[in-house]
Amino acid sequence: MVLLVIKTLTLALTCIYVSVIFFLRKGWSSIPVFRPVEGILKTKVSILIAARNEESKIALTIEDILAQSYPPELIELIIVDDHSTDRTSDIVLSYKDKGVRLIRLNEKEKLNSYKKKAIAEAINLASGELIFTTDADCRMKADWIKTVVSYYQETDSKLISSPVVYHQEKSFFERLQTLEFLYLIGLGASSIGNKMPSTCNGANLAYRKDVFLELGGFKGIDELASGDDELFLHKVASRYPDRIGFCKSTDAIVYTDAKENLPEFISQRKRWASKSTKYKDKKIVALGVAIWLFNLTIFANVLAGLYLADLWILALVAITLKYISEMFFLNPVTAFAKRSELMIYLPLLTVIHIVYIVYIGIAGNSGKYIWKGRLVR
């Protein structure tokens, strides 16, 4: 009787997972590749970056933004130094004569979300109609702003998520992360394509300033250190469910780096996972729990298979179906990012992903973590 229950539960959760992945493929396919129509670009934009101890990379990010093909008189770059202890501020100030503005946070009371505070402070001073957020260690092509603004003007979206891709990997571990990260980016895009926005990435996000002010900014989601992207996406989606877009263009990609080692990777993913139970749309939370249970069930079946070989067979069936569905989903996503060569790692990632999801699902919602040298929750 117990064995029958285990088999039934495993097969049911496997069907749910496979159905979700096929649904994501539908969402991805429903978003056409964006090709801008020639027209007058007239939108004033404010690019906002919250930076903390980024002296080694921030100059490259600034140079990329200053080299954009978009009219410079319509670009405002504001960088908020979040209590850096290195030369970040000095580097930003060296670009003052090129119009780059620096704000220094000087909060004396401890906050749990310095990044949200930094973005909110910058928005208060921003003069652009459209707010862009990115990170201080990102790289962009010259047509990044032009492409996203063209999408904005053609679609009149209230919030636009755009792709983020890891690049310049230096190890097998970083290449594996790139494939896993493309899964997450594809998931966020697909949820938008399916008219059920769930995730996005603050390294490449744009939204109207008046919408930010209309919704009270980060009020109601400011208790978490993270969530300036996904949780704000949910606020916008609750008010404007049909005005969320994904700019599916290679020119709109923002590039960043994978984590160099496992502790940094785990800390990052714990931070991301800490937002999951705060989603207002409980259907998304319930789906996340079901996916976590699916992976937990496979893990448990593998362990229990030491005593009952039938459960190993059951686990193998679930893993095989997991791999096939993920391959079906990731093939077009990696092709879009021009990283199809990473698919060779999918069999390994499919297996590692099981242990990773089980662990992060617990760790990300059961304690504190280190972010930018601070202990936060």
- CATH number for the domain spanning 43: value is 3.90.550.10
Neighbours of 76 (CB within 10 A): 21
Total structural domains within the chain: 2
What is the model's pLDDT at position 49? Answer: 96
pTM check: above 0.85: yes
Helix axes 2-29, 172-193, angle to 10 degrees: 80
What is the model's pLDDT at position 364? Answer: 78
Residues 250 and 367 in one domain: no
Q: Using the 3D structure, point to which of 239, 267, 295 is the last residue of a domain.
A: 267
What is the model's pLDDT at position 109? Answer: 67
Q: Are 276 and 188 in contact (CB under 8 A)?
A: no
Separation between Cα atoms, residue 148 and residue 255, nearest integer Å? 15
What is the model's pLDDT at position 298? Answer: 93
pLDDT along the chain (377 residues), means of 10: 78 94 97 90 96 95 97 96 92 96 83 82 95 97 97 96 96 96 96 94 96 92 78 94 96 96 88 73 82 93 85 92 97 98 97 93 72 58
Residues 9 and 59 in one domain: no
Residues 130 and 201 in one domain: yes
Helix axes 262-273, 346-363, angle to 10 degrees: 60
In a domain, 180, yes or no: yes
Residues 101 and 208 in one domain: yes
What is the model's pLDDT at position 228? Answer: 84
Q: Where are the beta strands (DSSP E) in the chain?
A: 45-51, 75-81, 101-104, 130-134, 139-140, 159-161, 164-166, 205-208, 244-246, 254-256, 369-371, 374-376
Separation between Cα atoms, residue 221 and residue 210, nearest integer Å? 18
List, as one string, the DSSP characters of 97-133: GGT-EEEE----S--S-HHHHHHHHHHHH---SEEEE
Residues 237 and 329 in one domain: no
Q: Using the 3D structure, point to which of 267, 300, 318 is the last residue of a domain.
A: 267
Residues 203 and 352 in one domain: no
In a domain, 272, yes or no: no
In a domain, 70, yes or no: yes
Q: Using the 3D structure, point to which of 237, 267, 297 is the last residue of a domain.
A: 267
Domain with 165 in it: 33-267
